[in-house]
Amino acid sequence: MTDFVHPALLFILGALPIPFLKGSIRKAYLLLIPALAILAVLTMQPGTYGAAQIIGQEILIAKVDKLSIVFATVFTIMALIGIVYALHLTRAGQHVAAFIYVGSALGVVFAGDYLTLFLFWEGMAFASACLVFAQPGEQAMRAGFRYLMVHITGGVVLLGGIILHGVATGSLLFGPIEREMGVASYLILAGFMLNAAVPPLNAWLTDAYPEATVTGAVFMSAFTTKTAVYVLARAFPGTELLVWLGTVMALYGVIYAVLENDCRRLLAYHIVSQVGYMVAGVGIGTEMAVNGAASHAFAHILYKSLLFMGAGAVIHVTGRRKLTELGGLYRTMPLTVALYMVGAFAISAFPFFSGFVTKSMVVAAAEQDHRALVVLALTMASSGTFLHTGLKLPYYMFFGTDQGLEAREPPRNMLVAMGMAAVLCITIGVFPQPLYALLPYPVHFEPYTGVHVTESLGVLMFTALGFLLFLKALDPENTISIDTDWFYRKGAKHFMWLAEKPLARYEKAVSDVSETAALPLLHGAARAGLWIDLTGVDGVVNSVARSILRGGGALRRLQTGVVTHYALAMIVGVIAATIVFAVAWR
């Protein structure tokens, strides 16, 4: 028994037999692999594994330390929950894609060098895109292609940074970037920030996630952005830029969420907002802040997947996704409502729910670091989080105007998966110590103080008062919101316009010129050439040929066929040669 089984390998190799298994055997197998992966993570020892040399570069397949174990633990737990939620699917495609996606995310989390990291990074992008493509319809296909294009571009930027970094430092080992921030560091940072959905590189997330399949979006909400938080925490802790981008991000997502009508897009904007806390925590960079970022990522994966599962259940049952078309489902889906609300309380950081013990650690770290503005902005974002995911979304989705939709509770496996996530959200909130023990640094933080509880409740419940008073202003509207994807969506349209209108016109003008002016000229030139050829060149050639014929005829007369004539000619020749030789020798 070795002390390290790479969980990425379990998932990626484990994905191969899925299409060949049927029925309940497949279901058992789908549950077995994540369970084995959880076991592998729980039993692994810190250290380095799989060191090798490839084309003169040091490769380190797996570097295990406390930071990577935190993320790997929640990733494998999430994989199990996500698979339970997707267990009713009869076709294997999405299961295979999800396995490769999870495996690649785990590959990044353990990568000890940039090449391994990059390989799994790209694997994640392609596998997750398949979860968007699995959704039928042109809208999803288009969104999937945009998602893939953005991630390929980000991947190229990252690769450029990695190569420059490798050339400058002579090593591709992945760790904190300690040198001065140069072009290489900024390119790597940009590649990482794209996956973390830091504005203005955020639009791919809110564009693609709501278009993915019901089960696919649950996986997507968990892995890509949190992998990015992990690599940022590994390579760029204490980068001042990240504090401000993270703070802006937390508010950015909340502001857009007010405008949103699509239930899963609203939740996607809250991923942006919540990842903002983590990015800010990484930027602050103190032990407490990095602990906060890591623990918040842990809690976030569980409650955000729960929220996506709840919204997904509604879409699965009703086939509708717009808040303007939903409402009154609480009568037929009470369990879904209750489970969704657990996620909503957790993301809003209510006491005894997971967000309370993790989000507050980031805010407390900002306070300890004397950053008043960051504290105020992050607290405001908390208010917005409860306003949308805890009040607006459930109100318009489950309560509000009854649209008379026929609904029922979703399949049992979906409810079980939501139940698993809900239990974890509450357990972490009530007993934070096991999670704190898992964090990279020792935790000196007590979330349950009187002031912290009353202040949190004050912010949250008075947000609810604001919601109640201004409910009419929050009514969802049948619109979409312009985000930074405008640049490439409209930009692509302008490019196509350029290609179709001015470029096509230019092309037509060029062909017109060639038809009216150049072609007759060429025709004339060709005719003149033909005439010169026929009369001049051919004449010369013919006359030369005729002279050669005549010469040949004359020479032929010398050929008599009589041997004595030839012998005579040879003797004459020899004599002539002798005479010439003698004269010339003199």
Partner 1 sequence: MIKRVVDFFGDGRYVNQRHRLFYLVLVLIVVADFLVPRGHAEYLWDRLPGWSAVYGFGSCVLLIFVSKFLGHQGGLMRREDYYD
Task: Tell me if the bond preceding 434 is cis, omega within 30° of 0.
Answer: no
CB of 159 to partner 1, least distance (A): 30
Q: What number of other Cβ atoms are within 10 A of residue 244's Cβ?
A: 16
Helix axes 214-235, 93-110, angle to 10 degrees: 10
- Degrees to nearest 5, angle at CA 44 with 40 and 45: 175
By rule CB under 8 A, what string of x and - marks binding of each residue 318-337 to partner 1?
------------xx--xx-x
- Degrees to nearest 5, angle at CA 492 with 491 and 494: 65
Candidates 44, 98, 365, 375; binder of partner 1 (CB under 8 A) is: 375
| Residue with Cβ nearer partner 1 (461 or 545) | 461
| Residue with Cβ nearer partner 1 (58 or 367) | 367
Candidates 1, 55, 372, 582; binder of partner 1 (CB under 8 A) is: 372
User: Which of the stretches 287-295, 439-447, 462-470, 561-569 binds partner 1 when contact is defined by CB under 8 A?
Assistant: 462-470
CB of 285 to partner 1, least distance (A): 19
| Residue with Cβ nearer partner 1 (74 or 254) | 254
- The SS3 of residue 217 is helix
Applying CB under 8 A, does 403 fall inside the site for partner 1? no
CB of 478 to partner 1, least distance (A): 6
Candidates 22, 171, 462, 507; binder of partner 1 (CB under 8 A) is: 462
| Residue with Cβ nearer partner 1 (8 or 271) | 271
Region of 17 on the Ramachandran plot (φ > 0 left; ψ -120 to 50 alpha; else beta): alpha
Exposure on the CB side of residue 94, measured as CA atoms within 13 A = 26
Q: H helices within 201-239, ranges in order?
A: 203-208, 214-235
β partners of residue 53: 58
Alpha-carbon gap, residue 358 to 361, rounded angstroms: 5
Which tokens in the block code for residue 278? 């983590």
Nearest Cα to 400, choosing from 467, 336, 330, 465? Answer: 330
Applying CB under 8 A, does 383 fall inside the site for partner 1? yes
Which tokens in the block code for residue 460? 């949250």
| Residue with Cβ nearer partner 1 (149 or 241) | 149
Candidates 114, 236, 298, 398; binder of partner 1 (CB under 8 A) is: 398
Applying CB under 8 A, does 202 fall inside the site for partner 1? no
| Residue with Cβ nearer partner 1 (357 or 397) | 397
Candidates 29, 352, 399, 448; binder of partner 1 (CB under 8 A) is: 399
By rule CB under 8 A, what string of x and - marks binding of each residue 255-294 to partner 1?
xx-xx-----------------------------------
| Residues 411-450 within binding reach of partner 1 (CB under 8 A) | 450
Max Cα separation, the chain?
Answer: 139
| Residue with Cβ nearer partner 1 (21 or 474) | 474
Alpha-carbon gap, residue 460 to 453, rounded angstroms: 11
Candidates 461, 498, 544, 569; binder of partner 1 (CB under 8 A) is: 461
| Residue with Cβ nearer partner 1 (57 or 379) | 379
Candidates 107, 384, 410, 432; binder of partner 1 (CB under 8 A) is: 384
The residues, ordered by sequence, that sit 6+ positions from 377 with a Cβ below 8 Å of its Cβ are 247, 250, 251
The residues, ordered by sequence, that sit 6+ positions from 222 with a Cβ below 8 Å of its Cβ are 75, 78, 82, 301, 304, 305
Candidates 455, 512, 533, 538; binder of partner 1 (CB under 8 A) is: 455
CB of 129 to partner 1, least distance (A): 19
Alpha-carbon gap, residue 192 to 184, rounded angstroms: 12
| Residue with Cβ nearer partner 1 (43 or 449) | 449
Asked if 297 and 74 count as a contact pair (C-beta separation under 8 A), the reply is yes
What Cα–Cα distance (Å) separates residue 302 from each residue in 234, 427, 428, 432?
A: 22, 11, 10, 14
Residue 200 identity (one-letter amino acid)? P
CB of 383 to partner 1, least distance (A): 4
User: Which of the stretches 6-14, 156-164, 231-239, 459-467 binds partner 1 when contact is defined by CB under 8 A?
Assistant: 459-467
Alpha-carbon gap, residue 397 to 330, rounded angstroms: 9
Size of the site for partner 1 (CB under 8 A): 53
| Residue with Cβ nearer partner 1 (176 or 334) | 334
- Across 484-563, the runs of DSSP E, i.e. the strands, are none
Nearest Cα to 112, choosing from 120, 101, 122? Answer: 120
CB of 14 to partner 1, least distance (A): 36
Candidates 141, 163, 241, 338; binder of partner 1 (CB under 8 A) is: 338
Alpha-carbon gap, residue 312 to 82, rounded angstroms: 12
By rule CB under 8 A, what string of x and - marks binding of each residue 464-503 to partner 1?
xxxxx-x--xx--xxxxxx------xx-------------
The binding site for partner 1 (CB under 8 A) comprises 254-256, 258-259, 330-331, 334-335, 337-338, 367-368, 370, 372, 375-376, 379-380, 383-384, 387, 398-399, 450-451, 453-468, 470, 473-474, 477-482, 489-490
